Chains A and B, each alone.
Chain A
């Protein structure tokens, strides 16, 4: 795990610590993701995976450490909206879509740009944007239900809709928290294919528990434990690691 220069990375976390009432959620965490990389993060409950996502997306300020995006933007100084508009999209652990809006409107709201109130008051969808929404509807296989309320979708469909919303944002970096939780095997497989496809053009960080899924992603893996990185490498390599077996896999 050589420390690269920040300017060569899409995401650079160095020596990041966060504590809540004395509990160290992140403890000197260092993690570097290269541009265009697909990266999986695994770790037992309480390892700090979600806190790490919160730090990157501006929800939680780190006590110390550097969080740098795209080789030079200091994320610790920005709020959630600013970070999202820089090009970091986040999918939550629990699928969070706008339940009272249609699938189509969910995607439309995620459409890149047009974030100011005055422009959204008089906003009209252009043909090009409509085309893009239809394209994404196809990618996430929700074309047939695009007029349905998002609240009436199945759990797996909501997960996909949320990934679709990420795509509409057109981010450079996607943070995906447990995308296959509650999915059937077939859906899990399809999700792996989708994420690998997305990773061809963007950087993707996936947090996941499901080992079969992580294996099918076939990418570098970081194991988090007690707020810092325990091991890094391919899944096969980290699975051989004594410490990893002890804290996580061997339970």
Chain B
């Protein structure tokens, strides 16, 4: 019922403001500290850290996309890794074409793996990927289209709950098997790698790494704003209504399947963009990205951070992935147990995730009230709550 502009609404929420400011600040500061300071300075951020943080940020965007469908619309997708991987493959195909004749076989017409397989010409579905614009279009279009078609059938047939989760899992598993096959033309088991550059700028240069980090941070901020616009709108209230009482929503005259289709498709597009930013930073895309376990891991990030809030999944993805990097280095054999333990722990003790814990939400609530009083002192003159 509030018709304030989006930014004004966000400004009133200390948690969102803090997170977005940190992200925007980092988007500028991290590349600057990396590029401008000499490497022996105490404040210098090494390039590998820039890339690592950039990777976490793409995971944060992916978590945000899962939260939009799961946290707000109750669709527990266990196949979002597929949309992420498809976005990544689209980006990878562009970068493969950019290699040109600099591959091992020096074939300007065909990527190395096709030469290796004795293919004579480029398959039709690789056409157009020489163009950056076309590839970027595919980053958005391919995951979006798959989600649309998949959702069209699933939601129209009123597949819900655990059954929907299972078929999303089946979808990503089917894609995993398909992409493993050499004759699919996507590099089979090895996937796509040995990338050289994007738009002529070398992938290994510090400038490119910093740029990708910047873009990843800004993509998370933009993704947050897009999701925020959606969930604050009346459409957002309808999808929450669907989550809480689907048949009631139907009897009010809403076509539940259209709403689900909308958020599912938007979510898949966000996941695809995250994948496209991920691949150049890690330098490879292969079918393992489709593995069902990956998709389940995303759900853990969201559950731990706090589903149904937009800050939660971002924080969850960053925290869990930082922990993963740390523990897979320090105590590699215990990491999977920890991950499983985290999921059980958050399900049992943190139903609203980290951002929903009393300590954190109280601290931010206090800030919010203080801010609100500062902005609208008259509403609070009687000592009332105001709104």
Interfacial residues, chain A to chain B (CB-CB below 8 A): 57, 59, 80-81, 84-85, 89-90, 92, 96-101, 104-105, 108-110, 114-117, 120-125, 147, 165, 169
Determine the chain B residues whose CB is within 8 A of the CB of A109 once the complex forms: 234, 237-238, 241, 249, 252
Contact with A along B233-262 (1 / 0, CB 8 A): 111011011001101111111111011001
Determine the chain A residues whose CB is within 8 A of the CB of B250 once the complex forms: 80-81, 84
Determine the chain A residues whose CB is within 8 A of the CB of B255 once the complex forms: 81, 115-116
Smallest CB gap from B233: residue in A? A121
Interfacial residues, chain B to chain A (CB-CB below 8 A): 1, 3, 230, 233-235, 237-238, 240-241, 244-245, 247-256, 258-259, 262, 387
Beta-carbon contact of A108 and B237 below 8 Å = yes
* A-B contact number at CB 8 A: 79
Tell me the minimal C-beta distance from A87 to chain B in angstroms.
10
Q: Of A90, A101, A121, A147, which is within 8 A of B251 by CB?
A: A90
Determine the chain A residues whose CB is within 8 A of the CB of B253 once the complex forms: 81, 84-85, 115, 169
Q: Of A97, A101, A114, which is within 8 A of B240 by CB?
A: A101
Beta-carbon contact of B244 and A98 below 8 Å = yes
Beta-carbon contact of A120 and B245 below 8 Å = no
List 29 A–B pairs whose Cβ atoms lie within 8 Å, in order of A's numbering.
A80-B247, A80-B250, A81-B253, A81-B255, A84-B252, A92-B248, A92-B251, A96-B245, A96-B247, A98-B245, A98-B248, A100-B240, A108-B234, A108-B237, A109-B237, A109-B238, A110-B252, A114-B234, A115-B253, A116-B258, A117-B258, A120-B233, A120-B235, A120-B238, A123-B233, A123-B234, A124-B3, A125-B3, A169-B253
Tell me the minimal C-beta distance from A63 to chain B in angstroms.
21
Q: Of A116, A122, A169, which is within 8 A of B252 by CB?
A: A169
Beta-carbon contact of A57 and B234 below 8 Å = no
Determine the chain B residues whose CB is within 8 A of the CB of A125 once the complex forms: 1, 3
Beta-carbon contact of A98 and B254 below 8 Å = no
CA distance A96 to B234 in the complex (A): 19
Beta-carbon contact of B3 and A121 below 8 Å = no
Complex A-B, nearest 4 residue pairs according to Cβ-Cβ distance, in ascending order? A84-B253, A123-B234, A120-B234, A85-B253
Determine the chain A residues whose CB is within 8 A of the CB of B387 once the complex forms: 147
Tell me the minimal C-beta distance from A203 to chain B in angstroms.
17
CA distance A121 to B237 in the complex (A): 10
Beta-carbon contact of A115 and B248 below 8 Å = no
